[in-house]
Amino acid sequence: MTQQEQTPLTWNHWDEPEGEWMLPGECPVRTNRTLLLEMAARLLFPTVLVFSVYLLVVGHYAPGGGFAGGLVAGLAFVLRYIAGGGAEGAEIGTRLNLRPPLLVGLGLLLAVIAAFAPVAFGRPVLASAKYSADVPVLGHVDLVSSLVLDVGVYLLIIGVVLDLLRSLGSGIERDARESRP
Amino acid sequence: MTTLVTLPVLLPILGAALTVIGSRSARLQRLIGIAVLAVVSAVAAVLLVVADRSGPIVAELGGWPAPVGIVLVADRLSALLLLISTLVTLAVLVYAIDQRITDYGRDTASTTFHPIFLLLSTGVSLAYLTGDLFSLFVAFEIMLAASYVLITRRTNASRIRSGMTYVIISLTSSLLFLTTIALVYAATGTVNLADLSARVAVLPPGLQTLLACMTIVTFGIKAAMVPLHFWLPDSYPNAPAPVTALFAGLLTKVGIYALLRTQTLVFPQDRPSALLLVLAALTMLVGALGALAQNDLNRLLSFLLVSHIGFMLFGLAVFDAAGVAGTALYVVHHITVQATLFLVSGLITRRTGTVAIDQMGGLAQRAPFLAVLFAVPALTLAGIPPTSGFVAKLALLQAGAAAGLSTALVAGVVIVASLLTLYAMVRVWIRVFWGTEKEPLPDADPADELVVGTAATSRPMYAATAGLVAVSLAIAAAAGPLSSVAGRAGVDLTDRLPYVTAVLR
């Protein structure tokens, strides 16, 4: 341990991007902005979010679920981030005054509560109940109580993606900007 | 009662969620962590009493019965190991909090340490309790993913280097584990352990041997069995003392537990296993001899850890109720004592500013209490009567001597390895605690959170270590009831019927 500490920490910057592969928020060079991508991201963002909620809800009987839905929602944020850089996607948590770890914690908490809730009704841990209803527009709807657990997973995954964007995306960019002479 | 079985798995997750949400307050995080682990310890104690009185307690998750659903099973062995593991985790947490590696400074909380620490505890609990091969894989992954964070957290170049070894080796063994599960499922159509015990028995013998060997290799890597041990002395010593103590105390032992469970339940044998006997003897000798060559205190302890994995393998290799009971007892003893020794090593380093044995000296005069804290677990590890190490080794030796010539020979190796352990410990004692007093070295890296080279050590670090020493003394004092519980656990494991009937009903 002691010998290695004498060598200078040259490894420190090996993972820094060569040139910036994600456009920063305040674009110093105007030509680096891609208007096409920015417009596309603006159109796609709400659509992808709606699709992610769809995946979350149908997940019990069809392909989808909290994990898949959360990833798709996370991708919507990734798209905004790539198009707009730090000013859009990565800072979204800051704008909502919500730190990504909080989202992770809330998701986890919701999932654990959903796991314990059946015990209050005298059922085993993680048991699931089903509610059916006829809703005017949507038609016949089957909802299961394990959807709550899926919502927890959904939040958790979005939190993880946002945290990755914050630490690995804008964090690396910031380090690159600061270390540049 | 069945809900109680799920608590050791779910409560730490709940704690992890709360510590992330409450990550503004370091004090709140500490309270949650300690409270959760204390409750889980109490639950584990209740589980042990109930499982010992009235047989395995089975929780069917979501109400789906085995083998379709996932079950959590607390039998004597898993409840016993769960109890001791949680107690050790609690002591390590208290030590870590007081060493101030859990947050930034005293009052600025971090979002990583406490949640990750509690998730590691979830993984360990799930590994002990699960009745299902795939959930065992999930448990290992939770545990390993958490350990990757802990071993590389707030790091420097040398820790990254050793962390990489650890991560790559662990991922390789996980891949192998997954392959094994796929093969087992392809051959039998189930991953439930109780169900497997009947279905594997009707497979062709060659296939059985292949699957058994694959599980031995997979868990052998995790348990650091020679020749798959090389990663351990390279990676563990570089982490902060409490993290190393936790890894050394628990993670390798979970590998041993998985080996014990799968070999006795799924691949039972009616005579001692020659392969495991050879591996056990090699592990004992290579580890003990390796320890003699070390100058770094943590590396020395890591090699001794490898050596003592061999002791536990030996009990399993005997493959009868007495041998398995000896292993169970040895795991209980070793979890406590190995964690204690690493915590003491952390205290020594804090006092002397170094891990190099030849840079220390005369500590017995300057820190007599520390000397006592080292001497007790050191003698326990070597197995001097009347410590818990002696009780556990006696159980192993009796089992080995009773089972035939080959096991009696390896029992001789047990004695040799114990003497080598004693020799290594005496060497450390003479060089570190006797001799001329040396001035503590200055902190090599004053910028990081590990403060070393100071006599100013706050009480809870000593209290946590002393608590673990007390636990190991309590194990020795309660040797009678404990070895009878371990004996009943051994009979359960070799008989297999109590477990299988409880799970499959």
Contact B60 A128 (CB under 8 A): no
For residue B444, the chain A residue with the least C-alpha distance is A2
Contact B17 A116 (CB under 8 A): no
**Would the pLDDT of A83 be above 90?**
no
Could you tell me the pLDDT band of residue B43, with boundaries at 50, 70 and 90? very high
pLDDT, tens digit, 9 for 90 and up, residues B119-132:
999 999 999 999 99
Q: Which two tokens stand for residue A174?
A: 């910031």
For residues B279 and B282, what is the distance between their CA atoms, to the nearest angstrom? 5
Give the other-Cβ count within 10 Å of A155's Cβ: 23
Q: Which two tokens stand for residue B97?
A: 């909090």
Distance from CA of B324 to the nearest CA of A (A): 32
Arithmetic mean of pLDDT over chain A:
76
Q: Find the helix packing angle between A147-164 and A100-120, rounded to 10°.
A: 160
Average pLDDT, integer, range B480-494: 93
**Would the pLDDT of A164 be above 90?**
no
For residues B395 and B326, what is the distance between their CA atoms, to the nearest angstrom? 5
Beta strands in B65-211 (DSSP E): 71-74
Could you tell me the pLDDT band of residue A172, with boundaries at 50, 70 and 90? low
Asked whether residue A10 is domain-assigned, the answer is: no
pLDDT the model gives residue A15: 42
For residues B350 and B457, what is the distance between their CA atoms, to the nearest angstrom? 8
Partners of residue A105 in chain B, C-beta under 8 Å: 17-21, 23, 115
pLDDT the model gives residue A84: 67
- Portion of chain B with pLDDT greater than 90, in percent: 72
Chain A touched by B66 (CB under 8 Å):
no
Average pLDDT, integer, range B328-346: 95
Asked whether residue A93 is domain-assigned, the answer is: yes
Average pLDDT, integer, range B162-174: 92
| Distances, alpha carbon A55 to alpha carbons A79, A80, B232, B291, B430, in Å | 18, 20, 43, 56, 66
Give the up-direction half-sphere exposure of residue A43: CA atoms within 13 A in the CB hemisphere.
Answer: 5
Q: Cα–chain-centroid distance for residue B119?
A: 16
Contact A109 B17 (CB under 8 A): yes
Average pLDDT, integer, range B173-192: 95
Contact B56, B498 (CB under 8 A): yes
The boundaries of the domain holding residue B218 are 2-504
**Would the pLDDT of A12 be above 50?**
no
Q: Which of B259, B271, B262 is nearest to B402 (CA)?
A: B271
Asked whether residue A102 is domain-assigned, the answer is: yes
Average pLDDT, integer, range B261-287: 93
| Distances, alpha carbon B461 to alpha carbons B253, B409, B465, in Å | 24, 42, 6
pLDDT the model gives residue A11: 37
Contact B62 A119 (CB under 8 A): no
B482 contacts: CB under 8 Å, gap ≥ 6? B329, B332, B391, B475
pLDDT the model gives residue A95: 56
pLDDT, tens digit, 9 for 90 and up, residues B106-120:
666 777 889 999 999
Could you tell me the pLDDT band of residue A8, with boundaries at 50, 70 and 90? very low
Contact B9, B125 (CB under 8 A): yes
For residues B140 and B175, what is the distance between their CA atoms, to the nearest angstrom? 12
pLDDT the model gives residue B107: 63
Q: Could you tell me whether strands A130-135 and B57-60 are parallel, antiparallel, or unpaired per DSSP bridges?
A: unpaired
Average pLDDT, integer, range B174-181: 96
Contact B444 A116 (CB under 8 A): no
Question: How many structural domains are present in chain B?
Answer: 1
Partners of residue A108 in chain B, C-beta under 8 Å: 13, 16-17, 20
List phi, psi (to 5°) of B155. Answer: -120, 170
pLDDT the model gives residue A61: 85
Q: Which two tokens stand for residue A121?
A: 């009704």
Contact B355 A101 (CB under 8 A): no
Out of A42-46, A98-102, B143-147, pick the least confident.
Answer: A98-102
| Distances, alpha carbon A24 to alpha carbons A33, A38, A111, A168, B468, in Å | 9, 13, 35, 13, 52
Contact A109 B18 (CB under 8 A): yes
Question: How many structural domains are present in chain A?
Answer: 1
pLDDT the model gives residue A97: 62
Contact A126 B3 (CB under 8 A): no
A105 → closest Cβ in B17, B160, B296: B17
For residues B321 and B479, what is the distance between their CA atoms, to the nearest angstrom? 18
Contact A95, A166 (CB under 8 A): no
pLDDT, tens digit, 9 for 90 and up, residues B426-451:
999 999 998 888 878 877 766 666 66
| 3-class SS letters over A30-77 | HHHCCHHHHHHHHHHHHHHHHHHHHHHHHCCCCCCCHHHHHHHHHHHH
Give the up-direction half-sphere exposure of residue B102: CA atoms within 13 A in the CB hemisphere.
Answer: 28
Chain B touched by A121 (CB under 8 Å):
no
Look-up of token digits 């979204």: A92
**Would the pLDDT of B372 be above 50?**
yes
The boundaries of the domain holding residue A158 are 33-179
Chain A touched by B61 (CB under 8 Å):
yes
**Would the pLDDT of B274 be above 60?**
yes
Asked whether residue A99 is domain-assigned, the answer is: yes
Asked whether residue A20 is domain-assigned, the answer is: no
Asked whether residue A122 is domain-assigned, the answer is: yes
Could you tell me the pLDDT band of residue B325, with boundaries at 50, 70 and 90? very high
Distance from CA of B338 to the nearest CA of A (A): 22
Asked whether residue A3 is domain-assigned, the answer is: no
Arithmetic mean of pLDDT over chain B:
91
A window 3-42, beta carbon within 8 A of B: 4-5, 7, 9, 11
Q: Find the helix packing angle between B2-21 and B26-54, rounded to 10°.
A: 170
Contact A124 B63 (CB under 8 A): yes
Q: Find the helix packing angle between B113-129 and B252-265, rounded to 10°.
A: 20
**Would the pLDDT of A22 be above 50?**
no
Asked whether residue A13 is domain-assigned, the answer is: no
Out of B71-75, B223-227, B236-240, B384-388, pick the least confident.
Answer: B236-240
